[in-house]
Amino acid sequence: MTPHILITFAIIATMVLLFISNRVPVAVVALSATLVLYATGILELSEALAGFGDTTILFIASLFVVSASLDSSGVTTWTGQVLIRYAGESRTRLLVLSMLLVAFLTALIGSGGAVAALLPVLVIVSVRLKRPPAQLMMPLAFASYSGSMLVLTGSLVNVLLSDAASDVGLAPFGFFEMTVIGVPLLAGTVAIVILFGDMLLPVRTSREMPEDLSHHSRMLTEQYKLFDQVYQLEITAASPYRGTLQAVLESRLERENHPELSFIAIRPRRQNSISWQHSLVEGDRLIMRGEQAAMDAFAEQHGLTPCQETIGKMREALFNDSHGFSEVVLPPRSRLIGETVFPGMVTESGDLIILGVQRGGENLGPGETVLAAGDTLLLQGRWEALEEYGRDPNVLVVAAPDMIRSQARPLGTGSMRAIVILAVMVTLLATGVVPRVVAGLAAACAVILLRVLKIERAYRAINWNVLIMVASLIPLSTAMYKTGAAYLIADTLVAIVGNASPYALLAGLFLLTALIGQLISSTATTLIVIPIAIASAEAVGVSPRTALVTVAVAAAASFLTPIAASASLMVQGPGGYRFGDFWRMGLPLLLWFFLVGTFLVPMLWPFAG
């Protein structure tokens, strides 16, 4: 055993201990391990930093962006509502549906893409149903590993093993050849999670969990009493207000001395939205607040027809795909302190309207108010304008408009574009027409160019902690290969198996692959184990095809740690998991995969070939 092998083993052991202790950020631990590999001379600088230029990193980053586009356009919220509708309050139905869905998507686009697409859905579902996210996120990742065995394109590992079979003169694996082993793996995974998940999964809420904003608009309208004494008056052909702009309308109201009435907004005819910069025409509606008697007299005097409409319809006019609410608080030293405002007033930019003002949780009424520190304003306008206003340092946003929009207004204007982009990406990944990183980056660029997602939101959507960790761990597989550490482990295990039965060989190959696969990526593990699997199979007279399928099953069993598979890394934050949480649920699943890989595989792919 060379010094470099000893150093590599020491680095791995230290890294795993630090991961388990959870005292140092995982990205810092992984990056430090890479630096030590370079400092000890095991890796050249280019090898140590190769992970940051790996296409896998770009692909994972692109998936975060595509996932964010589905979230911001409301697709994930809609999907979550469908899941809730069919699952109801049943934990079992929710787990079964979500695990089957992620397995199906994994078969098309890989586990990373499938988990990235469904992760925000499960976040929304757990918030809505008030379930601990830790009970849902890990099963999502583990089901994706089973789904990777459903078809050839479910994992790059399957493709590598198919190529290896061709290299030794065997037929490559068919597209659905793995399905006969993938289905029992998935069924067993679902069954184990359903039966033992309550005991083995932690009951923990992540700090990253968002607030449930699904009923935000209703809460705000009730809290600010927006529709108390609010009426809609329709412009008729005889109305003197035809052709009037909002500013002119407000001045006329002041001149005509209607202090008991306040103007809120204009609702153009045949539109379910509001406007302020609009010249009134017949059929338009004025949204106003005041006493009913004064409103009736005002309507009769100015040729206006009162409209009877439900509060839900009125709320829809103020809160929809293009417009919404935002609540802001004035911090100390805000330049807005001392300004005079009133409900119905348009902000300085002309893009937003003030619907209400509160002080100490109490409404200040329809009259003028001199703002003070701690006052709360309810603003209404286009979502983009609300987000822009929220970046003003003179106000503090209570709930981010983009989060309100994604949760409370499912299937927004960009939803169809987001779905089409996702479908194209899935098609490209499934057919292999272009490299997967090209498909991912093209989809990420498309959601920005087609204005489904703003570039600022795309930057925020990328989990840089995950990217740094994955990029830092890629050189570890290089070190294990370069120093011979992996081959030392492999040769030792094969020597132990010796001339035992073919089942012992498959068991040894499974344990070897699964052991390495808990620490480094399944792709790197497979590349290390392939030559060992073929050589050992030929040595004991077993078909290499049987051995390669067992390796595929073992490579998909990265259950015990979150560091070797991107899907586990993705769910670690939203699920609030610690390093040690994974082995509890992962151990029975690993046992199931071991039984399938050791005993079921040779029934379907006989030893004799």
CATH number of residue 256's parent domain: 3.30.70.1450
Q: Would 501 be classed as within a structural domain?
A: yes
The answer to the question of residue 609 being in a domain is no
- Tell me the C-alpha to C-alpha distance, in Å, between residue 289 and each of 220, 280, 376, 394, 558: 17, 18, 20, 29, 62
Between CA 601 and CA 609 the distance in angstroms is 12
Q: Find, among 135, 146, 75, the residue nearest to 105 by Cα.
A: 146
Q: How confident is the model at residue 56 (pLDDT cuts 50, 70, 90)?
A: confident
pTM tops 0.95, yes or no: no
Three-class HEC string of 199-266: HHCCCCCCCCCCCCCCCHHHHHHHHCCCCCCEEEEEECCCCCCCCCCHHHHHHHHHHCCCCCEEEEEE
Q: Band the pLDDT of 36: cuts 50, 70, 90.
A: very high
Q: 456 pLDDT exceeds 80?
A: yes
Does residue 203 lie within any of the structural domains? yes
Highest-confidence segment of 72-81, 389-398, 542-551: 542-551
Distance between CA 48 and CA 463 in Å, rounded? 21
Q: C-alpha distances in angstroms, 113 versus 145, 248, 355, 425?
A: 12, 54, 42, 10
Query: Based on the domain organization, do 196 and 234 belong to the same domain?
Result: no
pLDDT of residue 233: 82
Rounded to 5 degrees, φ, ψ at 326 are: -150, 135
Token pair of 381 as six digits: 């306008």
pLDDT at position 253: 60
Q: What is the DSSP string of 113-149?
A: HHHHHHHHHHHHHHHHHT--THHHHHHHHHHHHHHTT
Find the mean pLDDT for residues 519-545.
Answer: 79
Residues 203 and 339 occupy one common structural domain: no
Identify whether residues 57 and 203 lie together within a single domain.
yes
Q: Does 475 share its domain with 337?
A: no
Based on the fold, state whether residues 327 and 275 are members of the same structural domain: no
> Where is average pLDDT lowest: 125-129, 358-362, 586-590?
125-129
CA-angle at 482, arms to 476 and 485, nearest 5°: 75
- Domain final residue pick, 341, 368, 397: 397
- Lowest mean per-residue pLDDT among 63-72, 75-84, 139-148, 565-574: 75-84
The average pLDDT across 150-170 equals 81
Predicted confidence (pLDDT) at residue 595 exceeds the cutoff of 70: yes
Judge if 94 and 238 occupy the same domain. no
Which amino acid would we find at residue 455?
I
Q: What's the 3-state SS for 270-293?
A: CCCCCECCCCCCCCCEEEEEECHH
Which whole number is the average pLDDT over 538-553? 88
Q: In the listed set 317, 349, 375, which residue is the last one of a domain according to the structure?
A: 317
pLDDT bin (cut points 50, 70, 90) of residue 202 is confident
Q: Which of 18-32, 40-54, 362-376, 495-509 has the highest mean pLDDT?
A: 40-54
Between 260 and 534, the more confident residue is 534
Range of the domain at 257: 216-317
What the block records as the tokens of 360 is: 């100490």
Question: What are the C-alpha distances in Å from 253 to residues 224, 247, 262?
Answer: 24, 10, 8
Closest-CA residue to 56 (of 446, 436, 475, 557): 436
Q: Is the pLDDT of residue 215 over 70?
A: no
**Confidence at residue 20, expressed as pLDDT on a 0 to 100 scale:** 63
Confidence band of 421 (pLDDT split at 50, 70, 90):
very high
Task: Report percent pLDDT > 90 for the chain.
Answer: 18
What mean pLDDT is predicted for residues 363-388? 84
Please give the Cα distance from 96 to 118 (Å, whole number): 14
Whether residue 347 contacts residue 353, with contact meaning beta carbons closer than 8 Å, is answered with: yes
111 touches 522 (CB < 8 A): no
- Is there a domain that residue 448 lies in? no
In a domain, 75, yes or no: yes
236 and 194 within one domain: no
Looking at the structure of the chain, the number of domains it has is 3
Rounded to a whole number of angstroms, the CA Rg of the chain reads 30
- The percent of residues in the chain predicted with pLDDT above 70, rounded, is 85
282 and 329 co-located in one domain: no
The answer to whether 330 and 395 are in contact (CB under 8 A) is yes
- 498 is a domain residue: yes
Mean pLDDT of 548-566: 89
Mean pLDDT (the chain, rounded):
81
| H or E, element range at 109 | helix 91-109
Residue 457 predicted with pLDDT over 60: yes
- Model confidence at 7: pLDDT above 60: yes
Looking at the structure, tell me whether residues 308 and 344 fall in a common domain: no
Per-residue model confidence (pLDDT) at position 545:
92
Q: Region 336-348: what's the mean pLDDT?
A: 82
Strand partners, 352: 381
Residues 596 and 488 in one domain: yes
Kindly state whether residues 597 and 500 are assigned to the same domain.
yes
Shared domain check, 517 and 479: yes
How far out from the chain centre does Cα 388 lie?
24
Cross-strand bridge partners of residue 529: none
Choice between 201 and 257, residue whose per-residue pLDDT is larger: 201
- The mean per-residue pLDDT over the stretch 204-226 comes to 66
pLDDT, tens digit, for every residue of 42-55? 999 998 888 888 88
Last residue of a domain, which of 397, 419, 448? 397
> In this structure, is residue 557 part of a structural domain?
yes
Domain membership flag for residue 411:
no
- Report the pLDDT value the prediction gives residue 602, as an integer from 0 to 100: 94
pLDDT band at 144 (very low <50, low <70, confident <90, very high): very high
With 60 as the cut, is the pLDDT of residue 295 above it?
Answer: yes
Helix, strand, coil fractions of the chain, as percent rounded to 5: 60, 10, 30
Q: What are phi and psi of 323, to 5 degrees?
A: -125, 155
DSSP 8-state secondary structure symbol assigned to residue 600: I
- Summarize pLDDT for 459-481 with one digit per residue, the tens: 888 878 778 877 887 787 778 77
